[in-house]
Amino acid sequence: MPQVTMGAEKKAEEVGGIWTSRRSFFTLAGWGIFLATIGAYLWNLLGTTGFFFPKVLYEPSKRFAVGYPQDFPDHSVVTLKARRVFVVREGNAFQAISMICQHLGCAVHWTEEKGIFECPCHGSKYYKDGVNFAGPAPRPLYHFHTSLSDDGKLVIDTSQIVERERKLVI
């Protein structure tokens, strides 16, 4: 006479891992697919290629002409506020130095009397060549690439950071 063991069998099924119990395998697989799908959509929403990261920017060009070299007086630091750069001229050598403070991004200003750049936010100071010497700034101001356009204008490219020593000699 066959023994009635239904209860015991069921117990064995529950004890088995996902590999031995069909039901828990499909339960886990179902949840897995569900969560993976949600995760993929969330990444598309919040990830670095998602909703909050527009693909087209309406920002000023990083490369722009600032005028003829002779427009800049000799031995001067000219502040181009809207472009956030200084044009430094020494004789016939030109450099473009960033206005953006290397601490947390305020706009530094040129103090003619002291011959240094100063930041109003937390007091960082830089020499005329952009090297930091006081305050919390961790590194010198960026120097940007300069060149001459075909019609002889000075062109600055803020997407190209160059060494401090580089000068455009005209």
Partner 1 sequence: MLPNLKEIGDKITQNDVWKSIFRHRYEDTSRNRMLQVLSNVWLHIHPTTVTKGNINISFTWCLGGLTFFVFLFETLTGVLLMFYYTPDVNRAYADMLDLSNNAIPLGRLLRNTHRWAGHAMVITVCFHMLRVFLTGSYKAPRQFNWVVGVILLVLTLLLSFTGYLLPWDQLGYWAITVGTNMAGATPFAGYQGPFAELFGFTIDNDIRFGLLGGTSIQAPALLRAYVWHCIGLPAMAGGLMMLHFWRIRKDGFSGQL
104 touching ligand FES, by CB under 6 A? yes
Which of 19, 52 has the CB closer to partner 1?
52
Which of 100, 162 has the CB closer to ligand FES?
100
Give the closest residue to 119 by CA, choosing from 106, 128, 134: 106
170 touching ligand FES, by CB under 6 A? no
User: Of the candidates 78, 121, 131, 155, which one interacts with ligand FES according to CB under 6 A?
Assistant: 121
DSSP E strands, 21-169 = 63-67, 76-80, 85-90, 93-98, 109-111, 116-118, 125-126, 132-134, 143-148, 154-162, 168-169
106 touching ligand FES, by CB under 6 A? yes
165 touching partner 1, by CB under 8 A? no
Number of Cβ atoms within 10 Å of the Cβ of 136: 14
59 touching partner 1, by CB under 8 A? yes
Nearest-angstrom CA–CA distance, 122 and 169:
34
CA distances from 50 to 46, 150, 152 (A): 5, 41, 43
106 touching partner 1, by CB under 8 A? yes
Which of 90, 118 has the CB closer to ligand FES?
118
140 touching ligand FES, by CB under 6 A? no
